[in-house]
Amino acid sequence: MASVLSTVAPQFDDAEQQRAAATLGMWIFLATEILFFGVLFAAYTLTRVRHPEAFAAGSRLTHVTLASLNTGVLLTSSLTMALAGHAARTGARRALVAWLGLTVALGAGFLAIKGIEYRLDFTEHLVPALNFAYAGPRADQVELFFFVYFLVTGVHALHVFIGVAAIAAIAVMASRRAFTPAYFTPVEVTGLYWHLVDIVWLFVYPLLYLVSRA
């Protein structure tokens, strides 16, 4: 019991109340994140409504194979994070560290694939303001699509990077026996953040890569 008592901060009655407070705090933060990405989706929507042809043309230039693969990678990383939660709940320390490590690897894999994609975008002269060149009609508006593309995917990739760093820190804590079946809130709230980053991508993927493929 000593280890349980030592993990409850003085302002809480018990571990359960502390856990509920932490989860509520995380959800409030996630609601602000949803609004933050919401502004980007609103900007996307208004720009696409004004320039539908340019968004269709721009979307056809994105790398749909890499993006689809990346969606699979991110969905799988959400599964390994959920399995880490089960391992934490049952006190399986080695499994917890392994699942967290796998999640970090998959998150890093997502960023690596995204990097390959950005490199291709650069060599194909699709980076606005830097080297953008487009021979077809409505070049300015296609450039606008790629501005939105880099803004949205860039901000999302930053969130993935932060998530990878956070999960790596949790993995180190787990390997140092920081968590017990009675106290694993950091694993749980980090998982919530990771799943939300996953949800954002589930909308980014069709809206940027699949606009006009038929």
Partner 1 sequence: MTGPRNDVLVWLALLALLLLTLGSAYVPLGRFNTTLHLAIAATQAALVLLFSMHLRTAHPLLRAVAAVGFFGIAILIALSLADVMTR
Name the residues that contact partner 1, by CB under 8 A: 20, 23-24, 27-28, 30-35, 38-39, 41-42, 45-46, 49-50, 64, 68, 71-72, 75-76, 78-79, 81-83, 86, 89, 191-192, 195-196, 198-199, 202-203, 205-207, 210-214
Q: Are 69 and 113 in contact (CB under 8 A)?
A: yes
Residue 142 neighbours by CB distance under 10 Å: 25
Q: How far is the CB of 130 from partner 1 (least distance, A)?
A: 28
Residue closer to partner 1 by CB (options 28, 172) is 28
Buried b (16+ CB within 10 A) or exposed e, 155-194: ebbebbbebbebbbebbebbeeeebeeebbbbbbbbbebb
Residue closer to partner 1 by CB (options 38, 136) is 38
Residue closer to partner 1 by CB (options 54, 127) is 54
Residue closer to partner 1 by CB (options 1, 39) is 39
Q: How far is the CB of 96 from partner 1 (least distance, A)?
A: 13
Report how far residue 24's alpha carbon sits from residue 36's, in angstroms, rounded to the nearest whole number.
Answer: 18
Three-state secondary-structure class, residue 30: helix
Q: How far is the CB of 178 from partner 1 (least distance, A)?
A: 22
Q: Kindly state the tokens that stand for 158.
A: 């930053």
Buried b (16+ CB within 10 A) or exposed e, 53-91: ebbebbbebbbeeebeebbebbeebbebbebbbebbeee
Residue closer to partner 1 by CB (options 150, 209) is 209
Q: How far is the CB of 85 from partner 1 (least distance, A)?
A: 9
Q: How far is the CB of 16 from partner 1 (least distance, A)?
A: 12
Residue type, 106: L
Residue closer to partner 1 by CB (options 73, 164) is 73
Q: How far is the CB of 6 from partner 1 (least distance, A)?
A: 25
